[in-house]
Chains A and B, each alone.
Chain A
Amino acid sequence: MIVNSLWYIPQLAVADVTSLGHFNPLAIAFFFLFVASSLGITYWAAKLTKSTSHFYTAGGNISGFQNGLALAGDFMSAASFLGIAGLVALNGFDGLIYSIGFLVGWPIVMFLIAEPLRNLGKYTFADVVAYRLQQKPVRIAAAIGTLAVISFYLIAQMVGAGELIKLLFGFDYELAVVIVGGVMMAYVIFGGMIATTWVQIIKAVLLLGGTILLSILVLAKFGFNPLNLFAAAADKYSGVLAPGKQVSDPWDAISLGMSLMFGTAGLPHILMRFYTVPDAKAARISVTYATALIGFFYLLTFILGFGAMVLVGQDAIKQIGTGGNMAAPMLAEFLGGDAFLGFIAAVSFATILAVVAGLTLSGAAALSHDLWVNVVRGGHANESEQLKVARGATMLLGALAIILGILFKGQNVAYMVGLAFAIAASANFPALLLSMLWRRFTTYGAVASMLVGTFSALILIYFSPTIQVAILNHPNALFPLKNPGLVTIPLAFIVGIVVSLLSSETQAEEKFAEVENRIHIGSEN
């Protein structure tokens, strides 16, 4: 009872948001410290990056534990930290659907994808799908799907980055987006996967550390009992502990759930990380660590989100940005002042940079390894040419990221990532799974599944209330669901299966035995 009476005091305090968006020297110092040290890593990595295998997969020399941390770093994006904290702060329980959905994809990755992928492929997931099928059409279709996923995922990261830097330095959103794009390109172009991996490991440690510290500071105000916090939230805003208006349509909830669960297993930058470890066993260890860390992190987002709701207040959060993306930094400012805001902002920035770098690297691999080397050059291109094309592709994608970030200003970042997951779950996951599991899968089936998955997801997103009502201000939308996964994931599976059954490919069936052998035994035998 004594404990219970303690947490009433801070509720009366109102967050002071006046210092946000103004010059904050401590924040800027942390920010530069991070950028400088990570550029140092890039300089070191650049000297090690001599071949395409170093550039794309760090030479396959990352250990299982390191890769687990890097996977966690790759996955705990701006959407997880800024977006989910914001969604929970503004909508309560509804935001938690995202936290939980993002995590439950990991067991699927572990059980179905990680080890076979490691044993079958080299640089991209298209290596696996194309293994026993015809290279060119499969790789073109896979690259289209990959680039669609990456574009949507990049939007979310860039929007988060822009708002964050604007909040920290007080200068223009657009300029902020350009800076993020520039620094990220430097990492990828010069340091490749080695630099990207280490930036991700450092960032994962900082992010987990920062989140734990922030959670402890929140819980300290509530007698170290999360239930006191949740109760205070329910007192201040009614109905926040139950599902609410964000998921008003039951089918929308199911659709979002499907996209989140199967999307993880189709994200190109996550799949690519499995090639950085030496063998399937190391891939297994990586997913175990990644799931443990990410799950723990998402449990803490419960505390961050409700903490921001109670301590900062929904009105103050909305005042800074309608998407709610700045809830966590504002909470840090409220609890620990300028220094802590600076630290959390630098960590968020590190988060965004690392994820954008990972995404760009996987996009560059699709453009250069899949499209240039295997389609244009028919598998024959020397090392220096491949590296040149990969670096060129990186610059192209960096420019694309900057443009998209500016176009989609003001969106909630967790929500945008939900759409990226829908495309990944429809475009990549069905073809990847069928190619490893099903003897009768054919080139036509794979291409049809990937293209139908990608374009049906894109078209339905365009006709969904997200674009039609929220952005174009039309009174209603042609397609009723906000997330297309419910329709597009089964559609991609059905199309892949039906088209495969209609066509037949003797060579693909004969080579299935080889696929089976490699899935289990790996490349050395």
Chain B
Amino acid sequence: MDDRKKALQSIAAARWRVSLLLSGAMMVIYFGFILLIAFNKPLLGSLILPGLSLGILLGALVIVSAWVLIFLYVRWANNKYDNRINNLTRE
């Protein structure tokens, strides 16, 4: 019984660690973008190609980064997390 409790606590700790890390990554990316908007507008307005400003490119990349982070989480959860939970409940 005590072993099970300990195992669960370690799973819980791992889960929140991954969740908070990935949430932190999303926050850094998005607020980095927002801080650029807030404090360096001319930089974001500079054109990389005709019609493509740095701001629009970075904005699209923020959306793509959200996809990438979710993909990383789902891969972790499907492979590692679910297995550990299954092992725990099977006992």
Chain A contact-residue range equals: 35 or more
**Complex Cα spacing A244 to B45, Å:** 9
A50 at the interface (CB under 8 A from B): no
The minimal Cβ–Cβ distance linking A351 to chain B, given in whole angstroms, is: 20
A residues less than 8 Å from B60 (CB atoms): 299, 302
Q: Given contacts A231-B51, A253-B34, A302-B60, is CB(A519)–CB(B12) below 8 Å? A: yes
A302 and B89 contact, CB distance less than 8 A: no
Task: Name the contact of B56 in the complex, choosing from A230, A251, A257, A298 (C-beta under 8 A).
Answer: A230
Q: How large is the interface on B (under 10, 10 to 19, 20 to 34, 35 or more residues)?
A: 35 or more
Per-position 1/0 for A238-275, Cβ under 8 A of B: 01011110010011011001000100000000000000
Interface window among A107-115, A174-182, A369-377: A107-115
The verdict on A295 contacting B37 (CB below 8 Å), with A254-B31, A519-B12 known, is no
Given the complex of chains A and B, what is the CA–CA distance between A317 and B26 in angstroms?
35
Q: With both chains docked as a complex, state the minimum distance between the C-beta of A520 and any C-beta of chain B, in angstroms.
A: 6
Known: A291-B66, A298-B63, A520-B8. A230 touches B51 (CB 8 A): yes
Is A216 positioned at the interface, with any CB of B under 8 Å from its CB?
Answer: no
Instruction: Quote the shortest CB–CB distance from B50 to chain A (angstroms).
Output: 5
Contact A253 B37 (CB under 8 A): yes
Which listed residue, B22, B33, B38, B82, touches A100 by the CB 8 Å rule? B33
8 Å CB contact of B89 from A232, A244, A292, A525: A525
What A residues does B74 contact at CB under 8 A? 284, 288
Interface residues as binary, B54-91 with A (CB distance below 8 Å gives 1, 0 otherwise):
01100110111011011001100100001001001100
B30 touches A261 (CB 8 A): yes
A341 to B55 Cα, complex, angstroms = 31
B42 partner residues in chain A, CB cutoff 8 A: 242
User: With a CB–CB cut-off of 8 A, which chain B residues contact A99?
Assistant: 59, 63
A288–B75 CA distance with the chains assembled, in angstroms: 11
Contact partner of B55 (CB less than 8 A), chosen from A93, A115, A231, A250, is A93
- B31-51 at interface with A (beta carbon < 8 Å): 31, 33-35, 37-39, 41-42, 44-45, 47, 49-51
> Contact between A96 and B26 (Cβ–Cβ < 8 Å)?
no
A209 to B88, CA, bound (A): 44
Chain B, Cβ-Cβ closest to A292: B67
Contact code string A81-97 (vs B, CB < 8 Å = 1, else 0): 00000000000010011
Q: For residue A318, give the distance in angstroms from its CB to the closest CB of chain B.
A: 23
B82, A281: Cβ atoms closer than 8 Å: yes
Chain A at the B interface: mostly helix, strand, loop or mixed? helix
- Bound CA span A281–B31, Å: 29
Alpha-carbon distance between A292 and B74 when the two chains are bound, in angstroms: 13
**Across-interface contacts of B15 in A (CB, < 8 A):** 520
Q: Which residues of B contact A230 (CB under 8 A)?
A: 51-53, 56
- A243, B70: Cβ atoms under 8 Å? no
B84 CB, min distance to chain A CBs, angstroms: 9
In the bound assembly, the distance between CA atoms of A257 and B59 in angstroms comes to 13
| Chain B, Cβ-Cβ closest to A519 | B12
Interface 0/1 of A486-525, CB less than 8 Å to B: 0000000000000000000000000001001101110001
Proximity bits, A401-443, B CB within 8 Å = 1, else 0: 0000000000000000000000000000000000001000000
**A145 CB → nearest B CB, Å:** 22
Known pairs A104-B66, A253-B37; A243 contacts B55 (CB<8 A):
yes
Q: Please, which residues of chain A bring their CB within 8 A of the CB of B53?
A: 93, 230, 241-242
Tell me if B38 and A247 are in contact (CB < 8 A).
yes
Which residues in B have their C-beta under 8 angstroms from that of A284?
74, 77
Is A234's beta carbon under 8 Å from chain B?
A: yes
A156 at the interface (CB under 8 A from B): no
In the complex, A79→B89 CA distance in Å? 44
What is the bound-complex CA distance between A234 and B67, given in angstroms? 29
The reply to whether B30 and A295 contact each other, CB–CB distance below 8 Å, is no
- The answer to whether the Cβ of A229 comes within 8 Å of any Cβ in the partner chain is yes
Q: Who on chain A is nearest to B36 by CB? A: A243
Distance (whole angstroms) from the CB of A246 to the closest CB of chain B: 10
| Cβ–Cβ contact A104 & B30, under 8 A | yes
The reply to whether the CB of A276 lies closer than 8 angstroms to some CB of chain B is no
- Residues A516 and B22 in contact in the complex (CB < 8 Å), given A104-B30, A106-B66, A242-B53: no
Q: List 6 A-B contacts (CB under 8 A).
A: A231-B50, A281-B82, A284-B74, A298-B63, A302-B56, A520-B11
